[in-house]
Amino acid sequence: MERTFIIVKPDGVARGLVGAVLERFERRGFRLLKLEVRTIDRGLAAEHYSHLKGRPFFEGLLDAITEGPSVLAVLEREDAIKVARNIVGATNPSDALPGTVRGDLGGCLPRNVVHASDSRESYEREVGLFFPGEAWLLEVQEAKQE
């Protein structure tokens, strides 16, 4: 069993797509372990996207992810990270295939509806950033990797 971290971004929440996005994950067998509505502050957003610092779209990305409430979720199933990335689709909604969240629900960069962790390392980093002190999430994850 594996876990992943997803965000329905402010554009997705504003467009009323929370249910549609979460339904896709539930129907693919994901179990919800954590669900929270939160407006992400700019400092946390900058840490979350620190790998993109210096890109020309960085400040606009921070604007987009902090402009309203997001929905944060930790989800579990086998191969969670790979399956979630497949559900989400390509980064640019213009490239995303039909059947994926970004391919079906659209958006325009940087507002592409949803985030999903791209690796186990990213998941652990992200869940530690967004839910610090909730060590049980990390501990169970680590125990299962041994």
Closest distance between ligand IDP and the C-beta of residue 78, in Å? Answer: 21
- The helix/strand/coil state of 56 is coil
**51 noted as active-site residue:** no
Q: Do the strands 70-77 and 2-8 form a parallel or antiparallel pair, or are they unpaired?
A: antiparallel
Strands (E), 41-142: 70-77, 114-116
- The helix/strand/coil state of 128 is helix
Q: Which of 48, 102, 111, 115 is catalytic?
A: 115
The listed partner (ligand IDP, Mg ion, none) that binds 57, CB under 5 to 8 Å by sort, is ligand IDP
* Residue selected from 1, 39, 50, 57 as contacting ligand IDP according to rule CB under 6 A: 57
* Residue selected from 110, 124, 126, 130 as contacting ligand IDP according to rule CB under 6 A: 110
112 binds ligand IDP (CB under 6 A): yes
Closest distance between Mg ion and the C-beta of residue 121, in Å? Answer: 12
Rounded Cα–Cα distance for residues 138 and 146 (Å): 13
> Do 102 and 93 meet the contact criterion of CB atoms below 8 Å apart?
yes
61 binds ligand IDP (CB under 6 A): yes
Rounded Cα–Cα distance for residues 9 and 40 (Å): 10
Binding site for ligand IDP (CB under 6 A): 52, 57, 61, 91, 109-110, 112, 115, 118
Give the residue numbers annotated as catalytic, written as ranges: 115
